Amino acid sequence: MARPEVRACKFIVILISLQSMIRVFAISQNSEEHAPEVHCSRERSRAAYKIVEEYLIPFVEKENYQMSQKCKLHPGNDIFRDQEDHKIHVDVNEWRCGYCKKSFRAEKFIDQHFDNRHSNLLNVSEGNCFAELCGALHCDHVMNSAVPKTKCNPAAATRNRHLCESLADSCFPVHQGPSAGRLHELFLRQFCDAHTCSGRVKPFARGGKKHTNIFYLAISILILMLLPIFYLIVFLYQREMRKGTQVLRRISKQSLKKKPS
């Protein structure tokens, strides 16, 4: 039989192991219970960010204006921005996670991967959900462009206009100088004026970022590649023509000589 001291040591070892397992389980449960819940649409946040990038940032850069971090339109206030920046679009059917290098067939799958594996990297703080700005920024106009428009709700249009004007006031205070004043006016024309049920004013009236047309770019490159070949063909053709003319001249001179009698 084992001595009492040995049995006591074994009991202590087992007890310590059980305590360690309970502690690890408690920590994991506690972390899951206190994991921040994200009530923000990734898809609508992405749409709002793209609208800001397309129809506002080019004008802000042109004015060399620095938006305050307190401005809800500031790119740093997008809860999903770090994850979106780590999304690598390799090919049509391949997306890669910039954190762990895993590959996915579609964007929706990498979005699910971010939610399941990298949610701890979200910039969770109050007021940084870009989806909340969709009413002011016309996200539905961009996301549902192919869907028939529903009947306009005057109350919703008024509410979105107030949100839009508050963004213009907070992000581009007119008292901060001429650049802020011009951007304030532009924001009203670009986004806020279209919040009406009249249908006369369309969103993004001032246009947006200029895109290079891929078709015309491809045609231009093709022309530049074929131009040297065309000039080479013309050069060779003209050289052959000159050679042919010289041969004809020599034949003509010989035929004019009188034959000896």
pLDDT of residue 35: 46
C-alpha angle 246-231-213 in degrees, rounded to nearest 5: 165
pLDDT at 151 over 90: no
Q: What are phi and psi for residue 99, nearest 5 degrees? A: -85, -50
pLDDT of residue 219: 73
pLDDT of residue 30: 46
Mean pLDDT, residues 42-56 taken together: 96
Distance CA 30, CA 37 (A): 14
pLDDT of residue 27: 44
Residue reference for tokens 């964007």: 107
pLDDT of residue 23: 60
- Boundaries of every domain in the chain: 42-150
pLDDT at 258 over 70: no
Cβ–Cβ under 8 Å, residues 163 and 188: no
Q: What is the pTM of this model?
A: 0.68
Mean pLDDT, residues 40-64 taken together: 96
The closest of 159, 157, 172, 165 to 189, measured between CA atoms, is 165
